[in-house]
Each structure stands twice: as C-alpha cells, then as structure tokens.
Structure 1
Amino acid sequence: MSEGGTVGKALAVLDQVAGFGRPVRFGDLQAQSDLPKATLYRLVQTLVQQSMLAYDPDSQTYSLGVRLVRLAHAAWQQSSLAPIARPSLDDLSARIGETVHLAQLDNAQVLYVDKRNAAQPVQMFSGAGKVGPAYCTGVGKAMLAFLDPVQLEAALAQQSYHRFTDTTLTSADALRGELATIRAEGHAFDREEHEPGIICIAVPILAESGRMLGAMSVTGPTTRMTLDDLTKLAPQLKDTAAFIAREAQTWRFPETQKRTGS
C-alpha cells in the first residue's frame, strides 16, 4: 500500500465515521467499507493512536477525535471565509431579519462555514460544518455558475442529481441552462429544490480576478416570504458579498495588496 494510498484510505475512514453522525462500532464501518477487514482495522487503530479517532471501550464505539477539533478550528481560521465575513453576516442578518448562510465548495459539494439565524428562526438542513449538494441549493448553484469551464465540468460530473422535491433539477443539462441564467443575473435561487417550504437567494463571492471564493445566501420559509421578496434583497446581498471579497483579498494576500497599492 503506497503512502499516498494509505493517507487517502485513512481520510476515507474519517469521512465514513463522520457520516454516521454518532459513535459507531467497527462492524458498522466494515459493513460499509470496501477495504479488507485487517486493513480497515489497522487504519482505525492508527487513527486512534493519532487522536484522530476516539475509542470508547465501554460501548466499543469509535467517534471523531479531539485532534480533529483543533485542526478544524485552525482550518476555519486560516482557510475559510468565516472569520472575515462574520461581521458582515451579522450586520446583514440584523438588517433584514432573515437567516444568512456562508458557504464554500468542498469536492464539488457545499460546505456551510457560517450561519446567522433570523429573528424568527426556522428549522432547516443547513448549519455551519454541514455538507450539502451543490446542484439544488442556492449557494451551490451560485458557486458552480462562476467556476471556470474545466472545474465546472468536473463538478457537474460529481453531482448525484437526486430528486429531493418536485422542483429539483435532476440532470447536468438542466443545471447548465440555469447556471447560464445565474451568470447573467449575478444571483441564484433555491426554489424549494432541496427542502420543501424553504427558498433562498444566493450570490457568489468573487475575487477581483473573477475567481470564485464562496457564496452567501438569504434563506427563509415560504410561509412568510416569496421569491419576489428575496429578489428585492439582491442589491444588499451583492454589496455584502463584494465587501467580503475585498476583505478576503486584503487578508489573504496582504503583500500583494501592499505592492499593488504602492
């Protein structure tokens, strides 16, 4: 087994444990794994030794280890838009009184990196740290629309196109057509495509070069808002996204900013 292969398999095990959302027995892991039992056991034991997994001898279960908490916190600070965007998200959510999400792409899926709740919170799937589909969420489509052609085709090939609701787009061709509209209008909608009764408007967060950094959205229930209501929020959302992009550029590339500004 190559070193690169070992690392990849170990990460797959971590993803598998995380996917259960609860402490899991080795038998459960084995039932879902293509790895030989001895290989899987060796990987699990190594991850436990490195504190990437924790083992509870009483329940004989494995869960994500505390070392991952430290690494996740460092990644949140260093690699996500969340620390930069948080004041802007707070301000926007307070002004409009609705839920605001911040997201980035992770292996062609949506990774929610922050969320600001509305004055009247509504139960929904999204939450900081959760991963969701890109093809049927507002933030996902907003990000897909502004990928370069090669990245886009790779991302489209990784979508499941599962039908969550009657309005879910279930093919790459249908999605391509909507992405063209999103590029022209500068914003995307979730028309109850992922969850019934939940709609949103989303915009990309773009660097000056046009590179896609992430996306943000305003989300709410159909019981108190319509797509027309959300459309009226597009200017505020786009202004906030542009501000976050400028802040991200200054934070991530300070030396470049200093040279170009001198």
Structure 2
Amino acid sequence: MGVTHSDGTVGKALALLDTVAGFGRPVRFAEVQEVSDLPKATLYRLLQTLTSQRMLSYEPDRGTYQPGLRLVQLAHSAWRQTTLAPVARPHLDALSAKLGETVHLAQLDGGQVLYVDKRNARRPIPMFSDAGKIGPGYCTGVGKAMLAFLPEAERARALAQQSYFPHTEHTHRDAESLEAELAEIRASGISFDREEHEPTIICVAVPILDERQRPIGAMSVTSSTLRHSLDDLAQLAPALKTTAAAISREAAGLSLPSAPDIA
C-alpha cells in the first residue's frame, strides 16, 4: 500500500487514493503516513486536495479518511463504459440460473485479473473473488484464459509481471511452467484453476475474444473440491463457451480494452 512518486503530482495523488482504499476501512492520517514515503506536508496537502475534490471523505469527529462518493460516481461510469458487465449481465443471469453455480466475469488490468461481475451459487461458497477485486493472473482460471490468448509479445510482458507467489502447492512457480499450460489452453479454449489460488477452490474458465481473437474478458464457473471434481466442471465448458460467444457478439463495436496496459 505504499505511495510512489511516479507520474508527478497526479501519480502521487492516485497512489494515495490506492493507499487509503487499500486499508478497507476509515483510516487516520498517522496510519497513512506510516506506509507513505511522502513528506508529511506533501501528504497532508494531497489528502486535503483529494478531500476537497470529493475523491476522499473526511470524518472530523473520528479524524479518518475513506474513499469519497465522487469515486463511486466515476466507478459506475467506468463500469458502464469500459467493462463487459452491462452487456454480459443477462447472459450471466441465464447461465447462473441454469447451472446453479458461482459464475465470474473478469477482464485483464495490467496483467492482473479484475473481477467485474459475479453470480453466487445457490449454495454460496466462501472465496476470494468479488466484483471489484483484483486477483492474480497466473493462478486463476479466468486469468490464465486471458493470458493464453494475448499476442506473443504482450503475453511475455504480462508473464514477466506475475509474482508467482506460491499460494498453494499447485501454484505455478515460474513463467516457463505457466507458458506450457497456456499453450494447452490455446489449443483447447478451456482453462482450469486446480486449487492454485485457494485450497479447495476449483474452476473451469473460457476467454471472451474479439473479432481478432484477442481477449476482452473471461468467464468461469467456480466450485469447491468438497462439492465437485474438475471432471464435473469440465462438463460445463460447452455452456460457458456458448455464453462467451454470445457476449462477444454483443460486445462487437464497443470501445473495450482488448489487452492489458503493460508497460
């Protein structure tokens, strides 16, 4: 949650927004200062500016900052304009009602996974993913489905940006082993999460491709090894592919990112 000096004052302010939001609760100035490398005066000035612009909200009785309502307005605008969620919503509803399992919709953001929508199973299972959360690309079904279909140079840059943190004993530890699986995903059009991010959590996923066969998103059906096997989930792949194709057709012509912004 540290604040960086990239991209001048604007970069500092955006990094500061990330820092405050990252606490997941109202936060005091001293707490922000502990994780910031900005001078105290600069930090205070940026917090005041962000508050006056309604990007942050300040509670004087508690002396705490938290994300402001203007961010909510911007988030809704971005959700409508730059995500697949509005187009995909009826398709997710139909697939969720048909299967009764957890359905995720995701897009790539800087080589990582941004969950943009979710439908819970009839019997919900606790798991990391929720709409708005950022997850790793290298050890999630939706992440691997999208990484597999990136153009080669972009895929190489994205793989270099993965952390390869061993979340479980099944997690990829390096780009070489991941790339071998991505080749299999390109051949089959199907990706799996084999308890790679969370113990007992498994999924089958497919990419959502544009007319150039570049990934604009991915969707998955997720369950637990306590309820299903990977073979069980593999049987749902045809329904996933049909839904992904329908979303792709409706998304044609929309201004959507087709690949991550990778420096």
- Which of the five TM-score ranges fits, normalised by the shorter chain? over 0.9
Please give the secondary structure, in 2, of the residue aligned with 1:154.
helix
Which deviates further from its counterpart, 62-71 or 10-19?
A: 10-19
Hey, what does 2:186 align to over in structure 1? 183
Distance in 1 of aligned mates of 2:107 and 2:125: 22
Please give the secondary structure, in 1, of the residue aligned with 2:193.
strand
Distance in 1 of aligned mates of 2:151 and 2:46: 37
Match of 1:226 among 216, 226, 229: 229
1:12 aligns with 2:15: yes
Please give the secondary structure, in 2, of the residue aligned with 1:242.
helix
Match of 1:102 among 102, 105, 112: 105
Pairwise mapping of residues 52-201 of structure 1 onto structure 2 (< 5 A)?
A: 52-201=55-204
Match of 1:24 among 2, 13, 27: 27
Distance in 2 of aligned mates of 1:165 and 1:101: 21
Please give the secondary structure, in 1, of the residue aligned with 2:154.
helix
Unaligned stretches of 5+ in structure 2? Answer: 257-263
TM-score, normalised via structure 1 length: 0.93
Distance in 2 of aligned mates of 1:150 and 1:30: 39
TM-score, normalised via structure 2 length: 0.92
Distance in 2 of aligned mates of 1:13 and 1:183: 39
Indicate conservation of the 8 Å contact 2:87/2:250, yes or no: yes
Cα displacement (A) at 1:187: 1.0
Distance in 1 of aligned mates of 2:148 and 2:88: 21
Distance in 1 of aligned mates of 2:110 and 2:6: 22
Please give the secondary structure, in 2, of the residue aligned with 1:114.
strand
Distance in 1 of aligned mates of 2:168 and 2:6: 42
Distance in 2 of aligned mates of 1:108 and 1:14: 21
Hey, what does 2:49 align to over in structure 1? 46
Q: Give, as a single letter, the amino acid of the residue that structure 2 aligns with 1:32.
A: V
Indicate conservation of the 8 Å contact 2:82/2:255, yes or no: no
Q: Give, as a single letter, the amino acid of the residue that structure 1 aligns with 2:65.
A: Y
In structure 2, relative to structure 1, the CA distance for the partners of 1:210 and 1:62 (3 Å cut) is same
Cα displacement (A) at 1:3: 11
Cα displacement (A) at 1:251: 4.5
1:211 aligns with 2:209: no
**Residues 189-225 of structure 1: CA deviation (Å, up to 9, x unaligned):** 0001111111001110000111210100000011111
Cα displacement (A) at 1:252: 4.5
**Residues 85-108 of structure 1: CA deviation (Å, up to 9, x unaligned):** 010001111111101000011121
Cα displacement (A) at 1:250: 4.4
Q: Identity across aligned pairs (percent)?
A: 66
Distance in 2 of aligned mates of 1:152 and 1:28: 37
Distance in 2 of aligned mates of 1:210 and 1:225: 31
Distance in 1 of aligned mates of 2:200 and 2:96: 20
Please give the secondary structure, in 1, of the residue aligned with 2:128.
coil
More helix by percentage: 1
Which deviates further from its counterpart, 180-189 or 38-47?
A: 38-47
1:243 aligns with 2:225: no
Unaligned stretches of 5+ in structure 1? Answer: 254-262
Count how many residue pairs are aligned between Structure 1 and Structure 2. 252
Distance in 1 of aligned mates of 2:31 and 2:112: 25
Distance in 2 of aligned mates of 1:190 and 1:15: 28
Q: Give, as a single letter, the amino acid of the residue that structure 2 aligns with 1:39.
A: T
